[in-house]
Amino acid sequence: MTVQDQTATTLPTDLNPQQMPRHVAVIMDGNGRWAQRRGLSRMIGHRQGTIALRNLVNYCADWGIGALTAYAFSTENWGRPSAEVNFLMELFNQQVLQAMKGMAKNNVRFRVVGDLGRLPPALQRNLEAAIDQTHANQGLDFTVALNYGGRQEITQACRHIAAQVQQGHLNPEDIDDDLFGRYLFTEGIGDPDLLIRTSGEMRISNFLLWQLAYAEIYVTPTLWPDFDRSEFHQALCDYQKRQRRFGKL
């Protein structure tokens, strides 16, 4: 079955609007396997995956979720075949250009986290344009992680804090969780309440290592291009059954 663009709808009646996650993070896994099972190229799988992501943005915006962060390309993904990496970079470029009008219309604020310096210059420019054009929007905070690695993010934050201490702008005793969070790529977004991973893999793959400390984790065997409204609905139903104690009784 080919995934089509789906229009967001009102919140399902069996979901409690008072218990919705404020921030959802998603590891979009399984594009290649989705394509291979259909005798198609991995590239087609990646393209179908962008449709699933657009749909998820619509659901989050329509169902009152404040933030969505999607893991699109990790620092380790550069090790894939060059033809696939080049295709993904061009696909990201196309998707950013296509999404700008929709994000402005739907009051979505777009952000990117990761080391963007390695990305193609044209993609960097278009990402910056999308960020600039949507920065005043006050609806869903939609963040894409590109050339992102959790360990690298934490290492970079440590370097910046160490430099501040060395320069006399910070005392070591000033460093706490809140201060450290201000030096992360995700500063100002807030930590995810729910992490969704598709394709059944039971790992977080160097994604938001600091921020996921108390996130509820939902893993589905569904491959990412097939992750639709009903799958997201099921993930939210499961989330609302959890008891979030944050280490307390």
- Alpha carbon 228 to chain centroid, angstroms: 16
Q: List Cβ neighbours of 197 (8 Å cut-off, separation of 6 or more).
A: 26, 27, 29, 203, 204, 217, 218, 219, 220
Is 77 designated active site?
Answer: yes
Buried-state track 173-197, b at ≥16 Cβ within 10 A, e below 16: eebeeeeebebbbbeebebbbbbbb
| Four-point Cα dihedral 200, 8, 111, 144, nearest 10 | 20
Q: Confidence band (pLDDT; 50, 70, 90) for 5?
A: low
Residue 178 CB contacts under 8 Å (≥ 6 apart), including other chains: none
Q: What is the pTM of this model?
A: 0.93
| Per-residue model confidence as pLDDT tens digits over 36-80 | 999 999 999 999 999 999 999 999 999 999 999 999 999 999 999
Phi/psi at 187 (nearest 5 deg)? -50, 130
Catalytic residue among 62, 77, 115, 206: 77
The confidence score (pLDDT) of residue 2 equals 40
pLDDT at 249: 58
Beta bridge partners of 148: 74
106 and 61 in contact (C-beta within 8 Å)?
yes
Q: What was the pLDDT predicted at 1?
A: 36
Average pLDDT, the chain: 94
Helix, strand, coil % in the chain, rounded to nearest 5: 45, 15, 40
Mean pLDDT of 191-198: 98
> What pLDDT was estimated at residue 3?
45
- Answer whether residue 195 shows pLDDT above 50: yes
Task: Report d(CA 85, CA 105) in Å as an integer.
Answer: 31
pLDDT tens-digit series, residues 21-30: 999 999 999 9
Q: What is the C-alpha separation between 249 and 247, in angstroms, rounded?
A: 7
102 pLDDT band, cuts 50/70/90, is confident
According to the model, what pLDDT value does residue 105 have?
84
Instruction: Note the pLDDT tens digit of each residue in 112-169.
Output: 999 999 999 999 999 999 999 999 999 999 999 999 999 999 999 999 999 999 999 9
Told to judge if 58 belongs to the known catalytic residues of this protein, a careful annotator would answer no
pLDDT surpassing 70 at residue 8 = no
DSSP-assigned beta bridge partners for residue 67: 23, 141
Residue 7 has pLDDT above 60, yes or no: no
Amino acid at site 13: T
- Compute the distance between CA of residue 230 and CA of residue 14 in angstroms, rounded to an integer: 12
pLDDT at 104: 84
**φ, ψ at 3 (rounded to 5°):** -75, 135
The residue from 5, 16, 29, 228 that is catalytic is 29
